[in-house]
């Protein structure tokens, strides 16, 4: 063996030995610890077990169950506004407020029989529900002297204010609520706005005068009109359901039926 060959073999031995000391067991090279899968990991859902990076059957079941729980929790958090409007729609429908020209009016104020999330007992509410898919563009005529009113879409997003904070500034006026993607007639003389959704909640407020509801009740029953634009030449008469003392629930569910509520909307 030549001297040169001896140096070559010696070098190969030295470098080969050094390289083997920097190899992750079971691999041909050094693998960063941060990307390796341990044989077992303790988590909030219990131990997750792996073999050569593959989860066992029990671990697979745990992880999928946890994913379902995470997604259900996120859906609940994201969909509370939508479920709230659906709860209002169902509650109002249950007492006969099932058309745009029908309203729930608290002639003698709200009490604990009506379950609302943020209802006040010193406000004369006139509450409607618009269905723009059924009725198309819908007119809401607001009388002068109305307090804060608004339109919220099916996800509880603001559409437009009415009454004192609205463009009529408490002087009354005609509002035209357009369905999403509306391409029809938009006549002059209306405060027009396009809603992102077909279903819209319409809460209007009147105030006590000398501690009495009479003035506000008279204002709503005589001055409020709600009807499809297509029926503006012969609008239906306003129908009123007195909400005072009536037993009804407008609050969304907090159990598994919550998901049935949002499925109905979707």
Among candidates 251, 259, 244, which has minimal Cα distance to 88?
251
What does the alpha-carbon distance between residue 10 and residue 67 come to, in Å, rounded to a whole number? 56
Regions in the chain scoring below 70 on pLDDT: 1-21
Among candidates 74, 226, 220, which has minimal Cα distance to 137?
226
Q: Which residues contact 110 (CB under 8 A, 6 or more apart)?
A: 116, 119, 120, 121, 123, 125, 243, 244
For position 10, what pLDDT does the model report? 43
Which tokens go with 56?
């066992």
For position 2, what pLDDT does the model report? 55
What does the alpha-carbon distance between residue 262 and residue 48 come to, in Å, rounded to a whole number? 33
pLDDT (tens digit per residue) in 126-183: 999 999 999 999 999 999 999 999 999 999 999 999 999 999 999 999 999 999 999 9
| Residue 250 buriedness (CB in 10 A; 0-12 / 13-18 / 19+) | buried
Q: What is the pTM of this model?
A: 0.84
In the block, which residue shows the tokens 């002068």?
A: 144
Cα within 13 Å of Cα(52), Cβ side: 2
What does the alpha-carbon distance between residue 111 and residue 244 come to, in Å, rounded to a whole number? 7
Q: Which residues contact 20 (CB under 8 A, 6 or more apart)?
A: none
Domain 81-265's class? mainly beta
Among candidates 68, 71, 107, 104, which has minimal Cα distance to 89?
104
What does the alpha-carbon distance between residue 197 and residue 81 come to, in Å, rounded to a whole number? 13
H or E segment and range at residue 174: strand 173-178
What does the alpha-carbon distance between residue 111 and residue 226 come to, in Å, rounded to a whole number? 26
Provide the residue ranges of all domains of the chain, joining segments of one domain with +.
Answer: 1-36, 81-265
Q: Phi then psi for 58, rounded to 5 degrees?
A: -65, -40
pLDDT (tens digit per residue) in 10-24: 444 444 444 556 888
Q: What number of helices (H) and strands (E) belong to the chain?
A: 5, 15
Among candidates 199, 86, 116, which has minimal Cα distance to 153?
199
For position 25, what pLDDT does the model report? 86
For position 26, what pLDDT does the model report? 84
DSSP class of 34: G
Q: Phi then psi for 56, rounded to 5 degrees?
A: -80, 175
For position 82, what pLDDT does the model report? 97
In the block, which residue shows the tokens 């563009």?
A: 137
């Amino acid at each position: 063996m030549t001297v040169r060959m001896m140096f070559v073999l010696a070098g190969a031995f030295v470098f080969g030995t050094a390289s083997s000391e920097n190899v992750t067991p079971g691999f041909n090279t050094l693998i960063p610890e941060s990307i390796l899968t341990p044989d077992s990991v303790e988590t909030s859902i219990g131990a997750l077990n792996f073999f050569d990076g593959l989860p066992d059957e029990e671990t697979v079941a745990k992880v999928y169950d946890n994913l379902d729980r995470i997604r259900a929790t996120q859906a609940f958090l994201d969909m509370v506004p939508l479920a709230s409007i659906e709860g209002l729609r169902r509650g109002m429908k249950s007492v006969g407020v099932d058309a745009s020209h029908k309203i729930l009016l608290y002639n003698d104020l709200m009490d604990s029989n009506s379950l609302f999330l943020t209802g006040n007992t010193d406000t004369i509410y006139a509450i409607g529900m618009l269905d723009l898919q059924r009725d198309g563009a819908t007119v809401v005529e607001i009388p002068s002297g109305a307090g804060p009113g608004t339109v919220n879409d099916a996800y509880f997003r603001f559409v437009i204010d009415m009454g004192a904070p609205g463009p009529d500034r408490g002087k009354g006026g005609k509002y035209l609520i357009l369905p999403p993607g509306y391409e029809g007639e938009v006549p002059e003389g209306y405060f027009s706005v396009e809603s992102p959704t077909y279903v819209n909640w319409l809460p209007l407020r009147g105030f006590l005068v000398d501690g009495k509801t009479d003035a506000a009740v008279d204002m709503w029953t005589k001055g409020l009109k709600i009807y499809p634009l297509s029926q503006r030449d012969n609008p239906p008469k306003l129908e009123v359901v007195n909400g005072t003392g009536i037993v009804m629930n407008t609050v969304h569910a907090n159990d598994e039926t919550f998901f049935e509520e949002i499925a109905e909307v979707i």
